[in-house]
A and B are shown apart, each in its own frame.
Chain A
Amino acid sequence: MILIDDSSAVNTIVPSNLITKLKILGLNTSLFNVFSVLPSEVDMSSPLMYGTPSSRVEGTPRSGVGGTPARQRPDLGSIRKAPQVDLHSEPPSADGAVASEQALGQKLVIWGTDVNVGTCKEKFQRFLQRFIDPTSNEDENAGLDLNEPLYMQKLEEISVVGEPVLNVNCSHVQSFDADLYRQLISYPQEVIPTFDMAVNELFFERFPDSILEHQIQVRPYNALKTRNMRSLNPEDIDQMITISGMVIRTSQLIPEMQEAFFQCQVCAFSTCVEVDRGRIAEPAVCRNCNTTHSLALIHNRSAFSDKQMIKVQESPDDMPAGQTPHTTIVYAHNDLVDKVQPGDRINITGIYRAVPMRENPRQSNVKSVYKTHIDVIHFRKTDEKRLHGLDEDSDQKLFTEERVQILKELASKPDVYDRLSSALAPSIYEHEDIKKGILLQLFGGTRKDFSQTGRGNFRAEVNILLCGDPGTSKSQLLQYVFNLVPRGQYTSGKGSSAVGLTAYVMKDPETKQLVLQTGALVLSDNGICCIDEFDKMSDSTRSVLHEVMEQQTLSIAKAGIICQLNARTSVLAAANPVESQWNPKKTTIENIQLPHTLLSRFDLIFLMLDPQDEAYDRRLAHHLVALYYQSEEQIEEEFLDMAVLKDYIAYARTYINPRLNEEASQALIEAYVDMRKIGSGRGMVSAYPRQLESLIRLAEAHAKVRFSDKVETIDVEEAKRLHREALKQSATDPRTGFVDISIITTGMSATARKRKEEVAQALKKMIQSKGKTPAMKYQQLFDDLRGQSEAAITKDMFEEALRALADEDYLTVTGKTVRLL
């Protein structure tokens, strides 16, 4: 007869096209016998009817623990082999003595562990029913009532959605019952099935009518034990671990045999043998007819489960310098197959396994090496959140208590701001304000979301432009910043194209599908994009930056892929003057020849000029010479460690979200009004809302430096000072010596504009005074104007005046003649 248990895994796993295969196999005489000899046995529960499994479910609705088929968990290995032992009896002899737990109670544990099934189950059920985490902010728990037992709500969700998987955060288990957690970590292979049992009992008690595809499986994640692939060692074998890494390769689907189906060639008796530790014990004798070696394996009636090999490489942040990254093999089973793609950054929770190299009977000695892999229980993508939602700073950088203490101590020092700024790129001399600006850029402002009111996100990132003479270590500063931040990108304007900065579509060589390859700006989302030789960039490339630098998004419409990517990146750019040497007689715009639309998007524009004064030279020389002879220790005494600085920034960025307090907002308003006042006296606008936003960002960043949750007046003061300092450098009108913001916002200083108008008026007056002459010689007019005006008039100015008059529709210029209209 055919022995198939209704609840066996075969039901759900054998593919539906088996029926056609069986038809083909109908030619096989041995199988034919099945039909002819035992026709009456072919009933609804027979595997031969698998063509319509779903209809069967509808026909006989199953519910309750007994009715729902259990699904094998290849991720846990063969669990049914674990016998229970009495603690007080001799372990080896008790091997086979499986007594019922009710009879022996507490003393009974699973062999080789200290796990008692009954207690364990009870504890876990209690955990599920009682665990509350009011402070939870995980995205999985979105929409759940945090003051109700968390996992009961999840069970309810399962009953509604019908996805029989319960993810359990191990840190929750730990905070609830440390002993249970320890058992879970140490004996996952035994404890997780117990959890499964517990959760199913509970579930079907609560929701007796719900129908699930198979029984609920518990998937623990976030085991705290291990975080780094490098720290895996032989002690972790067969324990539950969580590591992070990046997927580099995934294999094709591998069907792995779970149950082998044997049939006797003589009497057609069939039997199933479960795979035990990768082996199948072939039955030597047929139980029915006692013929020896008559059983043959029937492949298409054996049960297979899906399996996939995934190679994971440790993430670059976890590695010590100078070594190559390690890789680990991970096996995903059943529905976890194809959940991840190469390039994904994931957290894996699984059981670490070491398998000895297969012993070859033909060889006397074997390699003494084990093969290691991880049977995955739970995947969690860490970069999933990057494309949507707010800053869920994925890498959840963990700080130890002591580290946090050190950082806080540092933050409480009154001169922390100066300390940090001097720790920034110590090899670069002076430029204190520039370093301070970059420091504030590294911290960034507070992210604000007004999308509900339809105004979208406000930019929190500070953009900085450095311009100045070549050889003033601009590139070095950029290189330093790029090395300091975890998500930094470094590109050179000369070598990058628009697509290199944004994104391009290419055909994947393996899958032949079109894929979007992201460029530097997208890659540095939440980081800093350093662009060297900003001025050498082509116009089309630069135009891309307009959107990125204010809206912080990138819109792409290429090859049928239309999307908007986040590019919440700070831009740190460096530009050289057009004439290779900075011309102090010209404005910033004239010197670097960048469109003012782009320049106005920079919060701070610094000039790095060679000051050419003796005291400076002396200090510079001292600094450089010291650089060359000071020993390593001396340097360390003087400056903060780069690692501390890194951690400080990471900590502040993740945990500190300062808000403006009343005084500070008042101070900001005053500052803004003052800035506007300066200009209004001379009849020009000297500040725009953009400058106010910059001030707010800078003040917030400064509060972050202090680890303060409130933006206070001192923050505003520093923001004002820095902003003024930068303006003084970059927006000073070389003709008048006044600071004039319109140089940056409109590309022309107010005085220059005024003069242009004056010239135009003078010209108009002159033409009018000449009376009605419809046409004039160009050169003649120019000479006349020069003769009349007391100020020197250049040809450029004259042409500009003509253009202005032409715009007024007063005259037209055609070739060398000027006609009045």
Chain B
Amino acid sequence: MRMWFVCRFCCPAAQSNSNPEWEAKVLEYFKGQLREKESHSWVPSLNDVPLHYLKPNSLVKFRCLVQDMFDPEFYMGVYETVDPSTKANVLRCGKYKDVTECGVDLNSRNTVTAERQTFYCVPIPGESPWAKEISFLSAARVVPSTSYVPSRQKRSYEEDDDDMDTQPQKQREPHTEPHGNGDSKRQETEAPSSQTTAPSDCSSHLDLNFPLPGERGPACLVKVYEGLDSFKLNDTLEIYGILSVNPVLTVLGEEKDPSLLLLNPTESMETPEEQRAHDPPASLVPRLHMLYARPLQHNNPLLPSAPTEDQSAFVSSFLVEMASVRAELLAYLTHVLLGDGLAAEYLLLHLISNVYTRRDVLPLGKFTLNLSGCPLNSYTERLYQIVQQLVPCSYRLSMSLHTMNSMRLVPKKDYVANRLVSGALQLARNTSLFLDETQLEQGQLDSSGVRNITALGNLISWQKVDYDFSYHQMEFPCNINVLVTSEGRSLLPSDCQVPLQPQVTPPNMEEYLTTIHMAQFTSQINKFRVYLSLARTLDYSISDEVTKAVEDDFVDMRKDDPQSVTAEDLHRMLVVARLLSLSLGQTTLSRDGWMRAKHIDMLRRSRTEQQKSLNGNEP
């Protein structure tokens, strides 16, 4: 599981040089090892373990979002070094490394130039604290061997293989642990925060380019060697790779001899901004040489992450209790929404919505909910906290005039630093974006505010964000669940508006919501979390028979009232029917499901109309 495998594979092969298969074999080996049960949990994670606990050149994993893709770079895949004392030439491998050994013969004919690309990766933006904590605890179940044990380096490959077979749990002896007792776990939980406070001081001059303000965690420069085309911007990945924190990287970047610049202007070309963005100190932004990356369907640590037999077993076992969990969740949400059952139903559907495909420009499956008539005074804030407790990724954007005018929502290419400056809309798939329109006050939006509102509108209508590349715009499709809370009808478009009709008016809102929240057991909340993540991944289909029924129904509805039932309504009802079925764990639409969908949509519409006439009476 360690770097020395790579060395053992590389070096002999590099000498023969005629056999490029070794590279494939290395990858095969690692993939094979990681496929083994639980083996991936032995690898320490950059998300959980502070950087200074990790041994350089060891295998680590990192759960992240690809924030930017830098230009491809050429490196010495194979190079020759000359030993100054013996004059012996040795071929060496440069793959998975940042720095070469000493005495490189630059004119050697054996040098092989290869290509790799650097991705700038940040932890998944808006990851909920609970998701972080649980994934940390589950990783800590099998203790990461982060200690530095020099003797291990000399172990032979066979021994290590043995080691794996006999100790699948990797329950290391106490002496291999940094703290050697159970307390260490606790200490390390604390560690990430204490560790990040320190760099946050230094990062004042070094912007780590997190999409969301106030984010923390390690950013990482990931060197990618294979399958460059398979990665896309904003992908969420779990990357397994070799950690490189060689201090030389920093020194190389900072050392500048101005007198040499005249003769070698190559380096003067890079602006200081660019250098800072592309070669930050390795102690702050470690380098990770990717061996293997797994695209993440979700980042819910309570669910098995890989689509294996495990998962299908997990799904089928959970399907049984799906209906009961749904009922409990619905009751919970009803309480949270002050006793409004219909709004709770819609909120539940919204939380499991997902853009499952696109037809030319039209994203299918999105379900933006506008919850209007929200009580003021921090109700929305508390509501967000509850949503945050349920979904693995979320962000609350308070749409006050000031934030709308000043905040950068759309990522923008900075050509001076040659990087993509992130914005709050650069989010991972299935992130819950909570737009709090109740914060909006009177005033004027300036041009950037208007741009931000347009960007939000585009996001909601087309599920895309147009990144600003200064000379042109580039469209990036996204998959973000947008929930808009507002007093009246939202100024943003939405798929569905539900006016909130509180049944109870608690004298102390804060206390009321806290009590509801406290009344739930963690195990219960965990069930909700699994439920929401799982329902979204289920397959769905409509049988021909039901198709026919739906069509008939639509024709009848049009007959009754052609003015008020349009194609748009059918679009929405089909989405509602889909989500309603999925929320019950049904993977096909039944007639019943369709009728229910129709029914709740009717209830909702009568409510909005009621609202309209109410507003109409007001001057």
Highest count of chain B CB atoms <10 Å: which of A329, A354, A367 = A367
- Asked if residues B232 and A323 are in contact (CB atoms below 8 Å), the reply is yes
Chain B nearest CB from A176 CB (Å) reads 33
The chain A residue sitting closest to B563, CB to CB, is A581
Residues 280-323 (chain B) with a chain A CB within 8 angstroms: none
The docked-state distance in angstroms from the alpha carbon of A363 to that of B100 is 11
Q: Which of A320, A326, A610, A614 contacts B71 (CB 8 A)?
A: A326
A15 in the interface, Cβ–Cβ < 8 Å?
Answer: no
The docked-state distance in angstroms from the alpha carbon of A325 to that of B474 is 10
Inside 8 A of B71's CB, which chain A residues have their CB?
326-328
Inside 8 A of A371's CB, which chain B residues have their CB?
266
- Asked if residues A621 and B555 are in contact (CB atoms below 8 Å), the reply is yes
The chain A residue sitting closest to B74, CB to CB, is A370
- Asked if residues A625 and B476 are in contact (CB atoms below 8 Å), the reply is no
- Asked if residues B97 and A368 are in contact (CB atoms below 8 Å), the reply is yes
Inside 8 A of A627's CB, which chain B residues have their CB?
359, 364
Known: A359-B106, A610-B562. A625 touches B113 (CB 8 A): no
- Asked if residues A248 and B471 are in contact (CB atoms below 8 Å), the reply is yes
- Asked if residues B98 and A367 are in contact (CB atoms below 8 Å), the reply is yes
The chain B residue sitting closest to A626, CB to CB, is B547
Q: Is the interface of A mostly helix, strand, loop or mixed?
A: mixed
Inside 8 A of A621's CB, which chain B residues have their CB?
550-551, 554-555, 570
A629 in the interface, Cβ–Cβ < 8 Å?
Answer: yes
- Asked if residues B100 and A366 are in contact (CB atoms below 8 Å), the reply is yes
Query: Interface with B: A32-40, A251-259, A733-741, which one?
Result: A251-259
A618 in the interface, Cβ–Cβ < 8 Å?
Answer: yes
Residues 257-279 (chain A) with a chain B CB within 8 angstroms: 257, 275, 278-279
The docked-state distance in angstroms from the alpha carbon of A316 to that of B467 is 12
The docked-state distance in angstroms from the alpha carbon of A581 to that of B574 is 25
A356 in the interface, Cβ–Cβ < 8 Å?
Answer: yes
Known: A248-B415, A309-B269, A628-B574. A366 touches B263 (CB 8 A): no
- Asked if residues B415 and A249 are in contact (CB atoms below 8 Å), the reply is yes
Q: Is the interface of B mostly helix, strand, loop or mixed?
A: mixed
Residues 709-742 (chain A) with a chain B CB within 8 angstroms: none
Known: A323-B232, A476-B361, A483-B360. A365 touches B454 (CB 8 A): no
Known: A322-B233, A620-B567. A625 touches B550 (CB 8 A): yes
Chain B nearest CB from A368 CB (Å) reads 4
Inside 8 A of B360's CB, which chain A residues have their CB?
425-427, 480, 483, 642
Chain B nearest CB from A203 CB (Å) reads 34
The docked-state distance in angstroms from the alpha carbon of A705 to that of B268 is 54
Inside 8 A of A237's CB, which chain B residues have their CB?
74, 113
Known: A248-B415, A324-B233, A617-B558. A369 touches B551 (CB 8 A): no
A111 in the interface, Cβ–Cβ < 8 Å?
Answer: no
- Asked if residues B359 and A427 are in contact (CB atoms below 8 Å), the reply is yes
The chain A residue sitting closest to B100, CB to CB, is A368
Q: Which of B94, B98, B578 contacts A628 (CB 8 A)?
A: B578
B186 in the interface, Cβ–Cβ < 8 Å?
Answer: no
Q: Which of A246, A307, A326, A429 contacts B265 (CB 8 A)?
A: A307
B559 in the interface, Cβ–Cβ < 8 Å?
Answer: yes
The docked-state distance in angstroms from the alpha carbon of A278 to that of B562 is 78
The docked-state distance in angstroms from the alpha carbon of A279 to that of B567 is 72
The docked-state distance in angstroms from the alpha carbon of A566 to that of B291 is 52
B165 in the interface, Cβ–Cβ < 8 Å?
Answer: no
B99 in the interface, Cβ–Cβ < 8 Å?
Answer: yes
Number of A-B residue pairs having CB atoms within 8 Å of each other in the complex: 192
The docked-state distance in angstroms from the alpha carbon of A309 to that of B268 is 10
Inside 8 A of A355's CB, which chain B residues have their CB?
266
Residues 145-186 (chain A) with a chain B CB within 8 angstroms: none
- Asked if residues A629 and B477 are in contact (CB atoms below 8 Å), the reply is no
The docked-state distance in angstroms from the alpha carbon of A719 to that of B362 is 30
Residues 357-383 (chain A) with a chain B CB within 8 angstroms: 357-360, 363-373
A479 in the interface, Cβ–Cβ < 8 Å?
Answer: yes
Inside 8 A of A612's CB, which chain B residues have their CB?
558, 562
Chain B nearest CB from A310 CB (Å) reads 10
Chain A nearest CB from B560 CB (Å) reads 12
How many of A's residues come within 8 Å of B, CB to CB? 80
Inside 8 A of A359's CB, which chain B residues have their CB?
104, 106
B229 in the interface, Cβ–Cβ < 8 Å?
Answer: yes
Query: Interface with A: B207-215, B247-255, B508-516, which one?
Result: B247-255
Per-residue 0/1 for B108-145: is the Cβ within 8 Å of any A Cβ (1 yes, 0 no)?
00000111000000000000000000000000000000
Residues 590-626 (chain A) with a chain B CB within 8 angstroms: 610, 612, 614, 617-618, 620-622, 624-626
The chain A residue sitting closest to B93, CB to CB, is A368
A234 in the interface, Cβ–Cβ < 8 Å?
Answer: yes
- Asked if residues A358 and B232 are in contact (CB atoms below 8 Å), the reply is no
Residues 192-229 (chain B) with a chain A CB within 8 angstroms: 229
The docked-state distance in angstroms from the alpha carbon of A356 to that of B99 is 12
Per-residue 0/1 for A521-563: is the Cβ within 8 Å of any B Cβ (1 yes, 0 no)?
0000000000000000000000000000000000000000000
The docked-state distance in angstroms from the alpha carbon of A774 to that of B415 is 79
B345 in the interface, Cβ–Cβ < 8 Å?
Answer: no
- Asked if residues A329 and B113 are in contact (CB atoms below 8 Å), the reply is no
A42 in the interface, Cβ–Cβ < 8 Å?
Answer: no
- Asked if residues A368 and B94 are in contact (CB atoms below 8 Å), the reply is yes
- Asked if residues B74 and A369 are in contact (CB atoms below 8 Å), the reply is yes
Inside 8 A of A343's CB, which chain B residues have their CB?
471
Inside 8 A of B231's CB, which chain A residues have their CB?
323
Inside 8 A of B48's CB, which chain A residues have their CB?
none
Inside 8 A of A328's CB, which chain B residues have their CB?
71
The chain B residue sitting closest to A328, CB to CB, is B71
A756 in the interface, Cβ–Cβ < 8 Å?
Answer: no
- Asked if residues B100 and A625 are in contact (CB atoms below 8 Å), the reply is no
Inside 8 A of B248's CB, which chain A residues have their CB?
363, 365, 367
B571 in the interface, Cβ–Cβ < 8 Å?
Answer: yes
Known: A368-B76, A368-B94, A476-B361. A618 touches B555 (CB 8 A): yes
Query: What are 27 A-B contacts defined by CB distance under 8 Å?
Result: A254-B265, A278-B263, A311-B415, A311-B418, A316-B469, A322-B233, A323-B233, A324-B233, A324-B474, A343-B471, A357-B252, A358-B260, A363-B251, A365-B248, A368-B75, A368-B79, A368-B94, A369-B98, A372-B73, A427-B359, A471-B568, A483-B360, A617-B558, A620-B554, A628-B364, A628-B575, A629-B547
Q: Contacts A307-B265, A617-B559 known; list 5 others, CB within 8 Å.
A: A234-B115, A254-B265, A365-B248, A429-B567, A473-B567
- Nearest 10 interchain pairs by C-beta: A322-B232, A364-B102, A621-B554, A621-B551, A234-B113, A427-B359, A629-B542, A370-B74, A368-B94, A368-B100
Residues of A within 8 A of B (CB): 232-234, 237, 246, 248-249, 251, 254, 256-257, 275, 278-280, 307, 309, 311, 313, 316, 320-329, 342-343, 354-360, 363-373, 425-427, 429, 471-473, 476, 479-480, 483, 495, 581, 610, 612, 614, 617-618, 620-622, 624-629, 632, 635, 642
